[in-house]
Amino acid sequence: MQTKEVIGLDQQYYMKTFARFPIVLSHGAGMKVWDLEGREYLDFLAGIAVNVLGHNHPKLVEAISIQAAKLLHISNLFYSEPQARLAEKLVSLFGGGARVFMANSGAEANEGAIKLARKYAREQGSGKFEIITTWHSFHGRTLATLTATGQPKYQDGYGPLPGGFKYATYNELAAVEGLITEQTCAIMVEPIQGESGVHVGTPAYLRGLRELCDKHGMLLIFDEIQTGIGRTGKMFAFEQYGIKPDIMTLAKGLGGGVPTGAFLAREHVAAAFKPGDHGTTFGGNPLACAAALATLEAIEQEGLLENARHTGAYFKEKLQELQQKHNCITEVRGTGLILGLQLNRPGRPLVEAALQQGAIINCAGNGDVLRFVPPLIVRKQDVDALVGLLDKVLK
Ligand SMILES: Cc1ncc(COP(=O)(O)O)c(C=O)c1O
């Protein structure tokens, strides 16, 4: 099909929910993708922090192909080896003492975490139900997760919203403390706010949240959907802070591009779910679990956590050099391979100009932050190519 035909069909039949670029992507390899016209793009977006192994990674393609030829889907009424092995792997990466539930997406993982926090409170006999989240957070698009999301623009038009959510200013412990009541069962937070423009949680804040939860008998939920699976240079961002959440949610990079999500909870919290309390038809199916296992294995075998730290630090340095040259960059934020450039003007024209020049990047926040979440396989030469291109488009 031609580009025009594909876009024509989409415009006629797809719901108008996305502001898409007029490009039809057709295939990829490593850090690159190509469109139907044969134009090549350096991919620093990775399907929004998803393709951690880049495109068409041979080990991931092989694992998916082998599993597809064996068994795709069985429901959760039966056991499967990929699911059992993935559960063991995730719990061991978490540091043990936990259980996992597999979902299909980030929103579904967060929805499950919210349900578990409330169920745990009920089982404890407290009946607490309120969850404190943060302004400018992003937790998903289902009714409960968009209510948890502290951004009214995503909530407008969908009322009545579920009750029991309160919002505190990010990185301000006192703001959270002021919202705690006898009804508060959990605090839910991203270690780095990604969607709203790469705002990094400070160690004092995140450790302080842990202490507040311990003091008031509340659960700490880390939404690691964007920060997990190596993005910060550790498998999970919480490892950077020397604390552990009671519940952690994952999605995005977990399946290396195959839709999958998960939430883990410490053993005594997970015990609040009894048979029949939560479920899913597709979550944790053999194909998704085989993809996740292959993704985690490749991250370990290919030293991609180390690469995220080293190449990420190099990338940040290069962005800081760019800031010295261009007045419109007011701040460089982030760590590992989740980095953001704060601009004093809209970023969309720059994203479009970068596309013209052959690079995929993205705007976050109020449209004035350039966000970079490339595959974890990114190398210094890719960073040099992108930074050179940014230098041109910023001029
Ligand atoms: C931190 C965070 N939580 C949840 C979500 C929602 O994930 P999904 O789009 O897979 O439902 C996202 C997506 O951007 C996210 O960044």
C-alpha of residue 109 to centroid of ligand 1, in Å: 9
Helices 286-301, 304-325: inter-axial angle, 10-degree rounding: 70
Does ligand 1 come within 6 angstroms of the Cβ of 139?
A: yes
Pocket test for ligand 1, best of 195, 224, 373 (most atoms within 8 A of CB): 195
What kind of fold does domain 59-301 have according to CATH?
A: Aspartate Aminotransferase; domain 2 (3.40.640)
pLDDT of residue 58: 98
Q: Please identify which residue in the block is written with the tokens 């068409």.
A: 56
Contact 240, 232 (CB under 8 A): yes
pLDDT of residue 379: 98
pLDDT of residue 268: 98
The whole-angstrom separation of Cα 336 and Cα 233 is: 5
Give me the residue spans of the domains in the chain: 3-56+303-394, 59-301
Closest C-alpha among 301, 307, 292 to residue 376: 307
Amino acid, single-letter form, for residue 299: I
Q: What is the DSSP track for 277-331? A: SS--SSTT-HHHHHHHHHHHHHHHHTTHHHHHHHHHHHHHHHHHHHHHH-TTEEE
What pLDDT tens digit does each residue of the chain (395 aa) get?
A: 999 999 999 999 999 999 999 999 999 999 999 999 999 999 999 999 999 999 999 999 999 999 999 999 999 999 999 999 999 999 999 999 999 999 999 999 999 999 999 999 999 999 899 999 999 999 999 999 999 999 999 999 999 999 999 999 999 999 999 999 999 999 999 999 999 999 999 999 999 999 999 999 999 999 999 999 999 999 999 999 999 999 999 999 999 999 999 999 999 999 999 999 999 999 999 999 999 999 999 999 999 999 999 999 999 999 999 999 999 999 999 999 999 999 999 999 999 999 999 999 999 989 999 999 999 999 999 999 999 999 999 99
Beta bridge partner(s), residue 75 = none
C-alpha of residue 102 to centroid of ligand 1, in Å: 15
Does ligand 1 come within 6 angstroms of the Cβ of 225?
A: yes
C-alpha of residue 175 to centroid of ligand 1, in Å: 24
Does ligand 1 come within 6 angstroms of the Cβ of 193?
A: no
pLDDT of residue 224: 99
Which atom, in ligand 1's list, is nearest to the CA of 190?
1
Superfamily of domain 3-56+303-394: Aspartate Aminotransferase, domain 1 (3.90.1150.10)
Q: What is the pLDDT of residues 75-123, one digit of tens each?
A: 999 999 999 999 999 999 999 999 999 999 999 999 999 999 999 999 9
Contact 137, 114 (CB under 8 A): no
C-alpha of residue 37 to centroid of ligand 1, in Å: 31
Quote the pTM value.
0.98
Strand segments, DSSP code E, in the chain are 25-29, 32-35, 40-43, 98-103, 130-134, 165-168, 184-189, 192-193, 199-200, 219-223, 247-250, 261-266, 329-335, 338-343, 359-360, 362-364, 369-372
C-alpha of residue 375 to centroid of ligand 1, in Å: 17
Q: What is the pLDDT of residues 160-209, one digit of tens each?
A: 999 999 999 999 999 999 999 999 999 999 999 999 999 999 999 999 99
Does ligand 1 come within 6 angstroms of the Cβ of 223?
A: yes
Residues taking part in catalysis: 138, 223, 252
Does ligand 1 come within 6 angstroms of the Cβ of 57?
A: no
pLDDT of residue 138: 98
